Chains A and B, each alone.
Chain A
Amino acid sequence: MGGGRKVVCQAFTTGYIMEIFLQLTLSGLSQGAIFALIALSLTVVYRATTIVNFGHGDFVMAGAFFVYVLVIYAGLPYLLSSVLAILIMFVMGLGVSRGFIDPIKSGPHIGFAMMSISLGYVLRGGARFLWGREVFPMPRIFDMEPIFIGELVITGDVFFVSLIVAILLSVFFFIFYRTKIGIVIQAVYQSERGATLIGVNVRAFHQSMWGVGLAMGAMAGILIAPISLLHPDLGATFLIRGFAAMTLGGFGSLSGAVVGGLLLGFAEQIFGFYISSTLQDITAYLIILAVLIIRPAGLFGRTITVRV
């Protein structure tokens, strides 16, 4: 009985409640950082080409598998393997755009969706064919002694993932808003016709954005695989979360994708702890439903008014 009373007392201490909340927040933001990266990579392609890449989850998985191959089979260091995998995925993005998207540009828009789904499944099938019977552990690269602040635990996973994503996002937004390349990208985003008139090669731009999108997706895969496990179905879980983050932040909004991802990660933890863990898995769907009904443009999306 004494033990039971102690549990109750501890459970209702303000400090304890605060510690739990902070722990959930930290974990949520760390997971959300990955969702943000995936949502941002989806948005980069969507903003440039108006194509929603339904196969993106599998490109995330492919990036992680490239690192696995380079580390395990080629014996390269993890960091070098990651850089090479990101480059490979960038080139793959260029190839996807040139080889699979450009040829169907004159067709119906649904063709893009079908193409991206098909490409994703081909990648997944290929991975299953090559590694189908195993679930692989990735090298533990985020190991460090946990930092304790009272009962609050900051582990290597949380620390490094949050830090790396923060650096990547800072670099991305710096390039986007503070460099000439970024200004060109913004120009094409605003008006493709205008950009063409000032000499921008819009076709090459689309291809580059596919490359950037896939490379950023690969970064997410590279960060998540050492924390979870690597398997061909890894990306499916993240695709729907990427969509939910995009929806919450506002379709086409780069900063919205990031905020949406972080909020989704946080919401999953809060739903899972304070309501029910059975709801955790459907948090992304609940957010999509709620946002589309209450505020279809999302938090940062622009409401487009068409005058007829």
Chain B
Amino acid sequence: MKFVLNKLSIGVVFLSALTVVSGVQASDTTGLTDTTIKVGVMGPFTGNASSYSKTQIGLMAYFKHINDQGGIHGRKFEIFPEDTACAPAKGIAAAKKLVHQDKVFYLHGNSCSAVAMAVKPTVSPTGIPWIIAHAVNPKISMPVNEKKSIYHGVPAGPAYGSTMGEFVMSKPGTKRIAMITHTNDWAKAYCSPAIEVIKAKGGQIIEEQTLERGQTDATAQVLKLKQAKPDFILGCLYEAETVIFLRDAKKYGLKSPVMGTAGTDLENTLERLGDKDAVKDYYVLHAFVDKVNGPKMKKWNDIILKYNPKETITGFSAVSMASGVAAVKALKAAGRNLTRSKFIAELDKIRGLKTGILACDITWTASDRHGCKKSAVAGFVDGNPTVLSAWGKAW
């Protein structure tokens, strides 16, 4: 009897071990078939932040382009788009569906930092590779998660914020900085690192004003800022409020230059204001190597338009394609016998990747997942949109 029990125990242990091993192997290749790589693309396809979903539209167009080129080692991308509506609860539901129901190989995308942070506890423990292609909160990818599976493929808040600070302080004689911001984490992710850089370079914050989302008038804020006479203004505002602020700034004769975030872009701000004079002193973070419709961006814009002929190209459209280029490079390097572990290993080997899209090179290591460390700035020079590296200095 004892002999039988011992044999049974050994058998159970053996079977358990086999199950664990096969389970690990299965999860490492989940989302792969002989001909497809399943990729989950989460984004705010509806809701009041849905203009950001242009980044996911661009990313998916790039995947389709790769498919039309023959795919990667005989496999083509099978795309699973999921709407988060920029709402954390909906984002969590979308992530669970992609992970447990659609069983994707990896996740790529995500605008809206709040959604990505809410989704992280669901995705991180699974070890599914996850490339953040738009959201800016640095905590999404750093410190490196326990499964070492999350990557940032765009400049995170500190990179963007420090670029804002560097640009503001690069204007000769700049000392007195004023701010107008929303009070949410998104605005802090930009403004806090910018303030650190400004203070480190001898600047001082002389006035702080708040303009909340949905407000339609900025008279009080503009008059306060005008009274403070700043050398430069940091504007950590979303698109609609940026337009309202710039409109009122012109109206009341506030002439200080304004530095905006990557939440806006130059051409769209001009289009929405319909007044070139109101944006002539507006500078904005610009992720790309060229103007949105510049010659260096044509190749990428053409890919987007090939698969989405009615799409309007904006400053958001090509942002996520850069991390798409990095992902494809890693997938190619991982070879035909692809696994999630091999994919992660190859992502960690990417160094100084010039995507031809973003102004920054992408570098990922096992201990640093913030792939992009800088951004360009765009502003009107002699009436023309120009990509700048510092005040008065073209990129």
Q: Is the CB of A132 within 8 A of B274?
A: no
Pick from B46, B229, B273, B274: contact of A3, CB under 8 Å: B229
A170 on the B face (CB < 8 A): no
A7 to B210, CA, bound (A): 22
A157 nearest CB neighbor, chain B only: B251
- What's the least CB distance linking A11 to chain B, in Å? 6
Q: Is the CB of B216 within 8 A of A153?
A: no
- What's the least CB distance linking A220 to chain B, in Å? 11
Q: What are some 6 contacts across the A-B interface (CB < 8 A)?
A: A11-B227, A128-B46, A233-B48, A237-B215, A269-B220, A278-B210
B53 on the A face (CB < 8 A): yes
B271 on the A face (CB < 8 A): yes
Contacts of A278 on B, CB cut-off 8 Å?
183, 210
Pick from B212, B251, B275, B312: contact of A280, CB under 8 Å: B212
B50 on the A face (CB < 8 A): yes
A153 to B216, CA, bound (A): 18
- Point out which of A134, A153, A228, A236 has the most chain B C-beta atoms below 10 A from its C-beta: A228
What per-residue 1/0 map shows which CB atoms of A121-140 lie under 8 Å from chain B? 00000001100111101001
A282 to B183, CA, bound (A): 13
Contacts of A137 on B, CB cut-off 8 Å?
243, 271-274
A206 on the B face (CB < 8 A): no
Interface size of A as a range: 35 or more
- What's the least CB distance linking A150 to chain B, in Å? 12
A191 on the B face (CB < 8 A): no
A176 on the B face (CB < 8 A): no
Contacts of A102 on B, CB cut-off 8 Å?
none
A20 to B228, CA, bound (A): 13
Interface residues of A in 242-288 (CB under 8 A from B): 268-269, 271-273, 276-278, 280-281
Contacts of A133 on B, CB cut-off 8 Å?
45, 50-51, 53-54
A30 nearest CB neighbor, chain B only: B217
A1 to B251, CA, bound (A): 28
A271 to B220, CA, bound (A): 9
Q: Is the CB of A153 within 8 A of B251?
A: yes
Interface residues of A in 222-250 (CB under 8 A from B): 224, 227-229, 231-233, 236-237
Q: Is the CB of B216 within 8 A of A31?
A: yes
Q: Is the CB of B223 within 8 A of A273?
A: yes
A23 on the B face (CB < 8 A): yes
- What's the least CB distance linking B44 to chain A, in Å? 9
Contacts known (A132-B47, A135-B272); A280 close to B227, Cβ less than 8 A: no
- What's the least CB distance linking A152 to chain B, in Å? 10
Contacts known (A23-B252, A27-B219); A228 close to B244, Cβ less than 8 A: yes
Q: Is the CB of B216 within 8 A of A277?
A: no
Interface residues of B in 221-251 (CB under 8 A from A): 221, 223-224, 227-229, 239-240, 243-244, 251
Q: Is the CB of A27 within 8 A of B217?
A: yes
What per-residue 1/0 map shows which CB atoms of B47-69 lie under 8 Å from chain A? 11011011000000000000000
Q: Is the CB of B216 within 8 A of A23?
A: no
- What's the least CB distance linking B193 to chain A, in Å? 21
Interface residues of B in 305-331 (CB under 8 A from A): 312
Interface residues of B in 109-146 (CB under 8 A from A): none
A156 nearest CB neighbor, chain B only: B251
A274 nearest CB neighbor, chain B only: B220
Q: Is the CB of A233 within 8 A of B214?
A: yes
A227 to B216, CA, bound (A): 8
Q: Is the CB of A276 within 8 A of B272?
A: no
B253 on the A face (CB < 8 A): yes
A225 nearest CB neighbor, chain B only: B216
Contacts of B183 on A, CB cut-off 8 Å?
278
